[in-house]
């Protein structure tokens, strides 16, 4: 690991300014992704700015009937919160499907949103990777691609986003609240927060240099039946091959978001308008334009089957009330 300096931030504005003004500085929250990347020298920050201790560890009701989740709320605490379990069950289930208990005890809301891809070539510094080293090429294209994207990918990168939590937040139309180095604040719809790779896969979100996540706002509860199905290579402690988050309302309408298939949580609102036509119709619109390899073509069928199962169970539960 390369040497670095360490500073505890004293205020959000100071943290944002410090990271914006110091070349190659990074915020650190739980450290469960960043430190792994530093050990491999994929991330080589000169300065770590510790944002623990800034007080963003609370979950509070908002005036419009939703919840504001502090950036530093640990994944364990968010999943266990009684309001989240009752009104945003899809989020609680997605969190509990991610990582291990020990990791969830450390991992934060902001860090989970910003975790980097698990593409094995990204983690292997002997391999070409446009995300790790812009312009160097992509070893995954033509390589082993069982875990890679089937929608929204580009000629430069076919990586997936690994977060379970982010899939549920996309389903719920969460907003990411931030402060920039100039002190201005903004609220970014999660649909716009993560980027597709295009020809700049190293730019993964719309955050500006030094922009600090303060919280994530959940709109007022949707009601309905919530489900999160994660399919993975082993029963626990593995990233999703595919995951499907659903909310189904008593009138048969609903929402669907999918993980493990794209560079960002994948939701196509137009597909949801096919809900009364059944899972096949929703799936065909959701996954339209899928481009697969021999290794990952199974993901398209797996999404369809997982979605069909989720919709069948949730629809009958929603009708029963």
Ligand X SMILES: Cc1cc2nc3c(=O)[nH]c(=O)nc-3n(C[C@H](O)[C@H](O)[C@H](O)COP(=O)(O)OP(=O)(O)OC[C@H]3O[C@@H](n4cnc5c(N)ncnc54)[C@H](O)[C@@H]3O)c2cc1C
Distance from C-alpha of 171 to C-alpha of 133, rounded to nearest angstrom: 32
Q: State yes or no: residue 99 binds ligand X (CB under 6 A).
A: yes
Cα separation, 156 vs 200, whole angstroms: 8
Distance CA 289, CA 69 (A): 35
User: Which does residue 163 touch among ligand SF4, ligand X, none (CB within 5 to 8 A, set by kind)?
Assistant: ligand X
Contact call for residue 158 and ligand SF4 (CB under 6 A): yes
CA distances from residue 224 to 189, 194, 247, 277 in whole angstroms, order as listed: 22, 27, 6, 19
Binding residues with ligand X: total (CB under 6 A): 30
Closest by Cα among 220, 264, 247 to 90: 247
- Site residues for ligand SF4, 191-220, by CB under 6 A, read 201
Under rule CB under 6 A, residue 29 binds ligand X:
yes
Pick 14 or 133: Cβ nearer ligand SF4: 133
Residue (of 240, 248, 235) closest to 279 by Cα position: 248
* Nearest distance, CB of residue 87 and ligand SF4, angstroms: 36
Instruction: Single out the segment in contact with ligand X by CB under 6 A; choices: 111-119, 141-149, 274-282, 286-294.
Output: 111-119
CA–CA gap between residue 197 and residue 49 (Å, rounded): 27
Tokens of 317: 């539960």
* Rounded least distance, CB 144 to ligand SF4, Å: 11
Does position 310 bind ligand X by CB under 6 A? no
Is 89 in a helix, a strand, or coil?
helix
111 φ/ψ sector (left φ>0, alpha ψ -120 to 50, else beta) = alpha
- Applying CB under 6 A, does 212 fall inside the site for ligand X? yes
Site string for ligand SF4, 11-50 (x = CB under 6 A): ----------------------------------------
Q: Which stretch binds ligand X (CB under 6 A): 26-34, 186-194, 267-275, 277-285?
A: 26-34
Residue 103 CB, shortest distance to ligand X, in Å, is 5
- Does residue 179 contact residue 214 with C-beta atoms inside 8 Å? yes
| Nearest residue relative to ligand X (C-beta) | 111
Going by C-beta distance under 8 Å and a sequence separation of 6 or more, which residues neighbour residue 292?
A: 150, 299, 300
260 binds ligand X (CB under 6 A): no
Distance of closest approach, residue 210 Cβ to ligand X, in angstroms: 9
Answer yes or no whether residue 140 interacts with ligand SF4 by CB under 6 A. yes
Binding-site ranges for ligand SF4 (CB under 6 A): 117, 119, 121-122, 129-131, 138-140, 157-159, 201
């Amino acid at each position: 690991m390369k040497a670095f300096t360490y500073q505890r931030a004293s205020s959000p504005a100071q943290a944002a300014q410090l990271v914006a003004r110091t070349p190659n500085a990074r915020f650190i929250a739980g450290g469960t992704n960043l430190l792994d990347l530093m050990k491999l020298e994929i991330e080589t920050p000169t300065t770590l700015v510790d944002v623990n201790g800034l007080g963003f560890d609370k979950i509070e009701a908002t005036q419009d009937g939703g919840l504001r989740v502090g950036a530093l709320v640990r994944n364990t605490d968010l999943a266990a919160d009684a309001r989240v379990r009752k009104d945003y069950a899809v989020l609680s289930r997605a969190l509990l499907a991610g990582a291990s208990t020990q990791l969830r005890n450390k991992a934060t809301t902001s860090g989970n949103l910003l975790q980097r891809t698990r593409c094995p070539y990204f983690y292997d510094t002997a391999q070409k990777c446009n995300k790790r080293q812009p312009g160097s090429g992509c070893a995954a294209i033509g390589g082993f691609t069982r875990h890679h994207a089937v929608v929204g990918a580009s000629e430069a990168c076919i990586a997936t986003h690994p977060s379970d939590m982010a899939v549920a937040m996309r389903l719920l139309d969460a907003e990411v609240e931030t402060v920039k180095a100039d002190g201005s604040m903004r609220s970014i719809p999660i649909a716009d927060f993560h980027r597709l790779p295009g020809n700049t896969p190293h730019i993964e979100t719309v955050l500006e240099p030094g922009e600090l996540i303060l919280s994530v706002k959940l709109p007022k509860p949707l009601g309905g039946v919530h489900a999160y199905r994660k399919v993975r290579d082993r029963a626990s402690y593995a990233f999703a091959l595919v995951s499907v988050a659903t909310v189904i309302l008593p009138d048969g309408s609903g929402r669907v978001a999918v993980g493990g298939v794209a560079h960002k949580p994948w939701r196509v609102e137009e597909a949801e308008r096919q809900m009364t036509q059944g899972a096949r119709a929703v799936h065909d619109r959701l996954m339209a334009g899928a481009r697969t390899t021999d290794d990952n073509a199974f993901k398209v069928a797996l999404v369809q089957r997982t979605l069909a199962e989720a919709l069948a169970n949730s629809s009958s539960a929603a009708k029963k009330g």
